[in-house]
Homo-oligomer: A and B are copies of this chain.
Amino acid sequence: MENFNFYAPTYFAFGKDRENDCGELVKRFGGSKVLIHYGGGSVVRSGLLDRVKASLQKAGVPFVELGGVMPNPRSGLVYQGIELCKKEQVDFVLAVGGGSTIDSSKAIAAGVVYDGDFWDFYQGKLIEKALPVGTILTIAAAGSEGSPDSVITNEDGMIKRGATGDAIRPKFSILNPALTETLPAYQTACGITDIIAHLYERYLTNTKDVEVTDRLIEGLILTMKTEAPKVMANLTDYEARANIMWAGMVAHNNIVGVGRSQDWTSHQIEHELSALYDCAHGAGLAVTMPAVFTYNCKHDVMRFAQIAVRVWGCQMDFANPERTARDGIEALRSFLISIGMPKNFAELGAREEDIEKLAYTCCYGKGDEGGEIGGFVPLKQSDVEAIYRLML
């Protein structure tokens, strides 16, 4: 196991009606004037936004608001949010929504206290200072409610990039599974897929002998395998929603990723798809993961065989472990299709003729000279092109 630091001081308030505690939590974590940041539609229609405002008013905390966050959140709204916070002297950003809203909130929180262009952070600069952020989560998916990460799409070229820094780890996150019960099946499945991807990206490691994190990751994927069919059969199954929501946080606050190298290849390759075609991130991952794993399988057949046996219930083929490894990848593919995810480029709305461009942006979009991606297997542009072709 490699040396590591783990520090995840987010306060989690989990369960029914917990959004009503947001006013007190903002005060507890030092907020005296709040930006409520959200997407639109459902947060307003469901009455959630009104309950949030009522809780802030009850706690005597003034607020301004900024809606309009879209999936694959854009840099334009981040600039607006930064201006608004500066003008209104906001000292706390409260995200009400899913991963996109939280990521946009984190970008605003970092940008307000930074003299330069916030996009610098998405070009590799570590975020060391930010306004405190709190979240009220409405989609179990991104894990941003417990993570120090944010992903934003720059409208100048539609480039999707991530930034990180402990300063943007939420001070508190309110997780009420009931808030996710109104999510349509497709978005629910996209979230489940994203959570599974966060687990696979940590599972695919070159660090030996990290049994504890292997076992924890397997336990979380097994949870998704058990709970996903329940929620797809009954979208208002609170217990299944609760298991998925907590698993989604644990999957991504990095407690199951410490002490080992991680991968993130599927995320990097998918980001180009959702940036260019504006497809749902989870849907993109559903098409990307089996292709990446198939391409990388030979790099560590036993690792893929292990997850096949322990998670997907495949019988170990002792004469031919690679067959078991591939059975596990096919089992993942079948599972994702069973919850309604797309299986190829066509279903995603992606185009074969864009492959070269996608692979180029993926490998060179950050302006790196190297042009290589991948934490598990180093991949060049030609490898990435081959992976995109496996999705056809």
Contact = CB atoms under 8 A, between A and B. Distances in A.
A242 B213 CA distance: 11
B250 A255 contact: yes
A210 to B, nearest CB: 7
B7 A212 contact: no
Interface string A13-31: 1111010000000000000
A16 B259 CA distance: 12
Contact of A211 (B208, B218, B243): B243
A31 to B, nearest CB: 17
Contact of A215 (B211, B220, B240, B258): B220
A141 B243 CA distance: 28
Given A1-B243, A239-B1, A255-B255, A212 B14 contact: no
Contacts of A242: 1, 209, 259
Interface string A331-358: 0000000000000000000000000000
Contacts of A46: none
Which interface residue of A10, A177, A243 has the most chain B CB atoms within 10 A? A243
Contact of A223 (B211, B246, B247): B211
Given A1-B243, A5-B12, A239-B1, A212 B250 contact: yes
How many copies of the shown chain assemble into the complex?
A: 2
A379 interface: no
A309 interface: no
A186 to B, nearest CB: 23
A222 interface: yes
Contacts of A177: 1
A259 B246 contact: yes
A258 B243 CA distance: 11
Given A211-B227, A212-B223, A246-B212, A18 B3 contact: yes
A99 B62 CA distance: 46
A8 interface: yes
A212 B220 contact: yes
Contacts of A277: none
A209 to B, nearest CB: 4
Contacts of A215: 219-220, 222-223, 226
A68 interface: no
Which interface residue of A6, A15, A16, A209 has the most chain B CB atoms within 10 A? A6
Interface string A243-269: 100110010000100110000000000
Nearest to A247: B212
A239 to B, nearest CB: 4
Interface string A171-198: 0000001000000000000000000000
| Cβ-closest 8 pairs across A and B | A3-B15, A9-B9, A215-B219, A219-B219, A209-B239, A1-B242, A6-B12, A7-B11
14 contacts: A1-B239, A1-B242, A1-B243, A6-B11, A6-B12, A8-B9, A208-B239, A209-B239, A209-B243, A211-B223, A211-B243, A212-B223, A218-B219, A242-B259
